[in-house]
């Protein structure tokens, strides 16, 4: 048995791709290891959404080169968005890399390894596939995804993005939107249910535009209805939504379908209309707010999370203060916050009036400080209340506790106790809340 170590950067789409990479390589006799030192092959599944993630890939490669000098047989692969974006540039810059595969090319790994054995020169595969031949086909999907969890699974429903927000590299790395057929998705999920999975998260860069490239028909709301019919699946999540496409049908689906979880991740990016316009987000803050109001009316206990960018080119103090005001008004349960960073191919990288690094840092700190206090207050509101949680595994803190999530996606730790197992859905009362998680006591199972 050969050992494989995969390091995954970035979003859940990359996490799922890593499970597919592990699946393809397990068919070739590789088993996963947690330790790079004992690995025969190391794969970096990279992210290029922000500059920091991309430079991390190159610094990690430098370290792997040192490891390879000690162990020349070690195989090094680079996949994901940096691989897609950079292609052959990676092997030019890091000639010790044995293979490079793009986001559509996981199924090419066996061929790339074969080429390497034959000492062929070309060891890069980043060709974009219109029809995704492998890994969409349900006859093989089960055997080619080596999943990290046993009760919850990631399922992609749409790849790529057509939005072209002016800061974002994703449309260039992941390509145009391609939706999977509803029947393929449902077949995959039926298979997951048969293997004991209770929760699925439907993934896409913009799940709200699911189906548009197939001429309308089943949209996300319709898909949620179809998946709700699948016995054994108890919870359905989806991400990421886009405020311009997030519509009444979806709000109704979340409200009326009991299996659909009460959590929406709806990236705002900025509270300033001028910035939203320059970002090409296609909504104003007032429109966004109206949708949130409707959502909260229809689903009163909904958890809402967001993404915020601080220091987009041209952002003035007044623009930035509108973002702070929006955070106060929206009262998000959590926010992922980023300093704007220039990305290749994107229009915003050429905009004049780039904000200085010091101002960006200062604004990001302010956003984080404000949101942290809101997140803590939101979590504190949970104290004394009861929630249903799905037990996902042992808590990282030690083997004395178990970890689960509420339907609103908040992490809850409970004491281990007899009769409660991974995969169980139980009722807990929250005894204590911190900024990052909740502690609970079991009230029923
Ligand atoms: N700079 C900073 N943040 C970015 N994001 C995407 N591109 C950039 C960039 N160039 C953030 C957005 C997006 C999240 C996934 O990453 O907030 O919603
Ligand atoms: Fe990037 Fe915008 Fe597409 Fe999201 S919607 S992936 S931010 S281009």
Which ligand is in closest contact with the Cα of 172?
A: 2
Q: Which residues line ligand 1 (CB under 6 A)?
A: 49-50, 167-168, 267, 269, 307, 309, 338, 340-341, 343
Q: Which domains does the chain have, with CATH numbers?
A: 2-125 (3.40.50.12160), 294-381 (3.30.750.200), 386-444 (2.40.50.140)
Q: Within 13 Å, how many C-alpha atoms sit on residue 386's CB side?
A: 7
SS3 223: helix
CB 285 within 8 A of CB 322: yes
CA distance 276 to 13: 25
Torsion of CA 13, 14, 20, 21, to 10 degrees: 160
Q: How is residue 118 written in tokens?
A: 């034959």
Distance CA 43, CA 265 (A): 29
Distance of CA 425 to the CA centre of its chain: 24
pLDDT given at position 130: 56
Nearest ligand atom owner, CA of 170: 2
Atom of ligand 2 at shortest range from CA of 242 = 5
For residue 46, give both structure tokens.
């990279």
Digit-coded pLDDT (tens) for 39-63: 999 999 999 999 988 899 999 999 9
The reply to whether ligand 2 has any atom less than 6 angstroms from the CB of 336 is no
What Rg, from alpha-carbon coordinates, does the chain have?
Answer: 22
**Tens digits of residue pLDDT in 246-266:** 999 999 999 999 999 999 999
Taking the CA of 242 as reference, the closest ligand is 2
CA of 30 to the centre of ligand 2 (A): 34
Burial of 143 from C-beta contacts in 10 A (0-12 / 13-18 / 19+)? exposed
**pLDDT over 60 (residue 77):** yes
Q: How far apart are CA 222 and CA 250, in angstroms?
A: 9
Closest CA to 408 of 392, 389, 384: 389
Q: How far is the CA of 167 from the centre of ligand 1 (A)?
A: 7
What does the pLDDT read at residue 196?
Answer: 95
The predicted structure's pLDDT at residue 112 = 94
Rounded CA-CA distance 403/218 in Å is: 35
Phi and psi dihedrals of 412, rounded to 5? -125, 130
Q: What is the mean pLDDT of residues 427-440?
A: 96
For residue 335 the two structure tokens come to 């926010």
Identify the pLDDT of residue 444. 81
- Which helix (DSSP H) or strand (DSSP E) does residue 63 occupy? helix 51-70
Instruction: Tell me what the mean pLDDT of segment 75-101 comes to.
Output: 94
Which of the given ranges, 23-32, 108-117, 170-179, 371-380, has the highest pLDDT on average? Answer: 371-380
The alpha carbon of 151 and the centre of ligand 1 are apart by a number of angstroms equal to: 30
Beta-bridge mates of residue 391 = 404
Tell me the C-alpha distance between 316 and 325, whole Å: 14
pLDDT score recorded for residue 125? 92
Ligand 1 center from residue 114 Cα (angstroms): 37
Backbone angles phi, psi at 90, to 5 degrees: -65, -45
Measure the CA–CA gap between 166 and 417, rounded to whole angstroms: 51
**86 Cβ contact partners less than 8 Å away, ≥ 6 residues apart:** 100
Do 410 and 356 touch, CB atoms closer than 8 A?
no
Mean pLDDT calculated for residue range 78-84 = 95
Dist CA 262 CA 271 (whole Å): 24
Write down the pLDDT at residue 139.
36
Could you tell me the pTM of the whole model?
A: 0.94
Q: Is the distance from the beta carbon of residue 81 to the nearest atom of ligand 2 less than 6 Å?
A: no
Contact of 442 with 428, CB cutoff 8 Å: yes
Q: Given a cut of 90, is residue 132 above it in pLDDT?
A: no
């Amino acid at each position: 048995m050969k050992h494989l170590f995969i390091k995954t950067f970035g979003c859940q789409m990359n996490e799922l791709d890593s499970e597919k990479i592990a699946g393809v390589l397990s068919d070739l006799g590789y088993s996963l290891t947690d330790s790079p030192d004992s690995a025969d092959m190391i794969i970096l599944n990279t992210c290029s959404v922000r500059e920091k993630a991309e430079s991390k890939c190159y610094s990690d490669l430098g370290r792997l080169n040192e490891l390879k000098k000690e162990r020349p047989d070690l195989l090094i692969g680079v996949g994901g968005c940096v691989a897609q974006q950079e292609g052959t540039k990676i092997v030019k810059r890091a000639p010790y890399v044995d293979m490079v595969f793009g986001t559509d090319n996981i199924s090419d790994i066996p061929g790339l390894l074969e080429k390497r054995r034959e000492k062929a020169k070309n060891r890069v595969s980043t060709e974009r596939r219109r029809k995704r031949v492998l890994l969409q086909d349900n006859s093989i999907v089960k055997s080619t995804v080596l999943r990290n969890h046993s009760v919850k699974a990631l399922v992609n429903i749409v790849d790529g993005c057509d939005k072209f927000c002016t800061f974002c590299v994703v449309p260039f790395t992941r390509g145009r939107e391609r939706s999977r057929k509803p029947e393929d998705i449902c077949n995959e999920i039926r298979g997951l249910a048969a293997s004991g999975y209770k929760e699925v998260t439907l993934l896409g860069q913009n799940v709200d535009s699911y189906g548009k490239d197939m001429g309308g028909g089943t949209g996300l709301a319709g898909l949620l209805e179809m998946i709700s019919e699948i016995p054994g699946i108890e919870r359905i999540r989806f991400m990421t939504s886009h405020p311009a496409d997030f519509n009444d049908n979806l709000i109704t689906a979340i409200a009326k379908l009991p299996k659909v979880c009460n959590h929406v991740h709806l990236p705002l990016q900025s509270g300033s209309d001028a910035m939203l316009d320059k970002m090409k987000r296609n909504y104003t803050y007032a429109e966004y707010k109206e949708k949130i109001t409707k959502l909260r009316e229809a689903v009163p206990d909904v958890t809402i999370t967001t993404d915020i960018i601080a220091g987009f080119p041209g952002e003035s103090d007044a623009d930035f203060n509108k973002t702070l005001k929006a955070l106060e008004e929206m009262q998000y349960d959590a926010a992922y916050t980023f300093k704007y960073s220039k990305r290749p191919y994107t229009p915003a990288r050429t905009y004049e009036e780039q904000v200085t690094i010091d101002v960006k840092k200062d604004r990001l700190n302010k956003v984080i400080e404000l949101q942290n206090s809101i997140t803590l207050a939101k979590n504190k509101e949970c104290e004394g209340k009861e929630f249903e949680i799905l037990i996902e595994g042992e808590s990282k803190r030690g083997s004395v506790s178990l970890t689960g999530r509420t339907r609103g996606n908040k992490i809850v730790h409970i004491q281990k106790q007899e009769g409660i197992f991974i995969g169980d859905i139980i009722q807990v009362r929250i005894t204590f809340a911190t900024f990052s998680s909740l502690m609970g006591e079991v009230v029923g199972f």
